[in-house]
Amino acid sequence: MNGSVPNTLVVVPVKDFAKAKSRLGPHLDAVERATVAANLFTQTLHFLQDAQKQCSITFDIAVVTSSLEIASTVNECPVHLILEGQEDGLNSALTTAALWAKAHGYETLCVLPADIAAPDFDEFERLLSMSGSPRSLVLCPAHDYGTNVLIATPPDAVTFTYGKASFQKHQAQAAERGLDCVIAPSSSFSKDIDYMEDLADLQPRLLAKHGDRRAV
């Protein structure tokens, strides 16, 4: 890693684990769903902390959440905490994160979901390298045409519209606002965990309970 001051903030939005992964409900009970969500979050932070040490592009890490339990865990890690007053959905959380990023001098905001099945370092570095324009949007679509990785320069370049078909909505906004829009498919980052078929071979590991999560 070079010694420059990071101008990119990678933010991971996360809600209370007990409320996460509702679409797994028909197959997993509440405790199992919370365990999957917690393990995915831990995996994501480990991945980002490792990437920080290796990546040629410097970046800082932040977590945006309204959960005091998650906040207490994050406070023990070398990442920024953006604490919402109350949970009001993903788009509201990311708007809060974008305002925080601008107020703290970051030029670029990278949104990374906490539920990527198997994040890949080389793919992540490639995605970060695509945000070169001062007014730009890099979009990595999910397999269901949601938005997985989103990189906005400046951080509030778009209004976040996560939900059904959000990839097309974010792309349309980029065109309306005259942003340089880069579509960046990724075999790694297009795959998140929403349904039982997404768990596949990862199920035993993601359902394993860990007594101490302070190591995230």
Q: pLDDT at position 193, please? A: 58
Q: pLDDT at position 34, please? A: 81
DSSP-derived secondary structure for 39-72: HHHHHHHHHHHHHHHH-SS--EEEEEES-HHHHH
Q: pLDDT at position 75, please? A: 74
Q: pLDDT at position 213, please? A: 41
The Cα-based distances of 188 to 96, 157, 203 in angstroms read 27, 25, 17
d(CA 119, CA 6): 21
Contact status, residue 116 vs residue 104, Cβ threshold 8 Å: no
Give pTM, 2 decimals. 0.86
For residue 213, give both structure tokens: 């999560």
d(CA 129, CA 2): 14
Kindly give the residue spans of alpha helices, DSSP state H, lying in 79-160. 90-103, 121-129
Q: pLDDT at position 181, please? A: 97
Q: pLDDT tens, position by position, for the chain (216 residues)?
A: 344 567 999 999 998 887 765 555 566 666 777 887 888 899 899 999 999 999 999 999 999 999 998 998 887 778 999 999 877 899 999 999 999 999 999 999 999 999 888 899 999 999 999 987 899 999 999 888 899 999 999 999 999 999 989 999 999 999 999 999 999 999 889 877 554 455 555 544 444 555 444 333
Closest CA to 57 of 6, 118, 111: 6
